[in-house]
Structure 1
Amino acid sequence: MVGPGEAMTQTHRLTALLIALLALGALWLQVYVGLARRPDHEVWQELWRLGRYFTILTNLMVAVTFAGIAAGHRSPPWWLAAVALWILIVAIVYHGLLARPLDGIRWWSDMAVHTFVPITVGLWWLALAPKDGLMPRHAVWWLLWPLIYVSYALIRGEFDGRHPYFFIDPHEVGWSGVGLWCVALGVSFWLGGLGVVALGRLLSRPSPSADGAPDGPQVR
């Protein structure tokens, strides 16, 4: 028979595999839809086009992270919390600022990367991820990926003339507007990170009976 600890490990790995496959499938669907709309594009051109988006890069990060878990790699709690935060921010920003009416396969394609993957990652983190050792300073560290992405997107946009989102497009909102949006989103990421830390610490707190204290009166 399989012991409780081993069973939990199998649950982690199986569910992580399913999430990795979902993220990879969502990314494949994005490529498929993009090529269908741009029949003159080669696959590498479509991959290069999609590579400008935070959504795509973060979904790829999810796929790699969860494929590693499925293969037996033990990701540290701070990294799992970071990935969960970043992909949930993808969903929040999309539905709050960027969502547009779509139908057919384009609807499924957008929902996959912006909704289905974030929900499954969030649920996995709540139910299965280790959460010990999360500290408020991690919320600051987790700003590094958005900072790297914004720097990359701005530099790339100045070279190829295409900025992926209106709020980091200096030709649409001006450089001052880009700065204000970056500050606002940075604060939102930081506050979200603090919320993840607080929730993680709450969920990882041992139950009253876990430290050996009796649950009730003992009969002697």
Structure 2
Amino acid sequence: MTRLARITAALIAATALLAVLLQLYVGLERRPDRTALEEMWRMARYFTILTTLLVVLRYTRVAALGRASAAWTGAITLWALIVGAVYHGLLARDLTGLRMVADQMLHSAVPLFVGLWWLAFAPKAALRPAHATWWLLWPAIYAAYALWRGTFVDRYPYFFVDPTRQGWDGVALWLLGLGVVFWVAGRGLVALGGWLSRDRPHPDNAAPADPRPR
């Protein structure tokens, strides 16, 4: 992997971490009665926060080791783009000040930077259609976690996983619909990766076409 790819991966990891820390600061500023641990626990109910932390971990690894797998970079890219698409399509709010800055860093800047890095540097030729199915695993795990947490621990993080508002049938329909959209987006990412890598083979793409992220 080139030096530029590693440097930009490090910058993405730093930006994502800064976005999470800024969101933590904003939350504590709004609720000074909470401890940092209590605010972190509150933040941990959101797909945005957990996925952004995955971005931090993955891009730190890429920057440190200088290599990336097609499966994992594709997965992180899809999940980050989901964060941006769902927010701007369903959840966007009018905010001001630091709340607006933190919000846009999490939902706009980080997904954009991850997507651009994938286009410019990520290995893509090893991607296969089956990856789009494997990439649904994280959203599915999160949905189960959000429903469990909302039922037994805390309130529901999003309206579409809130059975008190949608009913369980409504939640199931929302999750099915979002799952189909994410699968189609994953297939599109795989197809785009194949098209972009047709005439530019990458040495990192020589691995067998196993769809499971490694």
TM-score, normalised to structure 2's length? 0.92
Does residue 31 of structure 2 align to residue 38 of structure 1? Answer: yes
Aligned partner letter, 1:75? A
How do 1:95-174 residues align onto structure 2 when only pairs under 5 Å count?
95-174=88-167
**CA-CA distance at 1:119 after TM superposition:** 0.3
Q: Does 1:82 align with 2:97?
A: no
1:176 is the counterpart of 2:143: no
> Bigger radius of gyration, 1 or 2?
1
Which letter does structure 2 place at the counterpart of 1:150?
A
CA displacement 1:132-178 (0-9 Å, x = unmatched): 21000000000100000000010011012400000000001100000
Are residues 1:200 and 2:196 paired? no
Q: What TM-score comes out, normalization by structure 1 length?
A: 0.89
* Structure 1 vs Structure 2 CA RMSD: 0.9
Q: Which amino acid aligns with 1:126?
A: L
CA distance in structure 1 between the aligned counterparts of 2:88 and 2:44, rounded to whole angstroms: 20
Unpaired runs of 5+ residues, structure 2, are 201-214
Alpha-carbon deviation of 1:12? 1.3
**Residue type at the aligned position of 2:148:** I
- Number of residues of Structure 1 aligned to a counterpart in Structure 2: 200
Q: CA deviation at 1:74?
A: 2.3
Give ranges in structure 1 of 5+ residues lacking alignment: 1-7, 208-220
- Does 1:19 pair with 2:12? yes
Counterpart of 1:95, as a letter, is H
Distance 1:100 1:18 in 2: 27
Cα distance in 2 between the residues matched to 1:75 and 1:52: 28
Aligned-partner Cα distance in 1 for 2:30–2:98: 12
**CA separation in 2, counterparts of 1:91 and 1:161?**
24
Q: State the AA in 1 paired with 2:191.
A: A
CA–CA distance in structure 1, aligned partners of residues 149 and 97 of structure 2? 31
- Alignment map for 1:184-195 (pairs within 5 Å): 184-195=177-188
How far, CA to CA, are the matches of 2:13 and 2:35 in structure 1? Answer: 25
Partner amino acid, structure 2, of 1:198: A
Corresponding letter in the other structure for 2:197: S
Aligned residue identity for 2:38? Q
* Paired residue secondary structure (1:131): coil
Q: Please list every run of at least 4 consecutive aligned residues from structure 1 whose deviation after the TM superposition is greater than 4 angstroms.
A: none
Q: How many percent identity over aligned positions?
A: 56
Aligned residue in 1 for 2:208: none
- 1:9 CA drift (Å): 1.9
Q: Distance in 2 between matches of 1:60 and 1:137?
A: 25
CA apart distance, 1:73? 5.0
The 5 Å alignment of 1:52-67 reads 52-67=45-60
Secondary structure of 1:71's counterpart equals helix
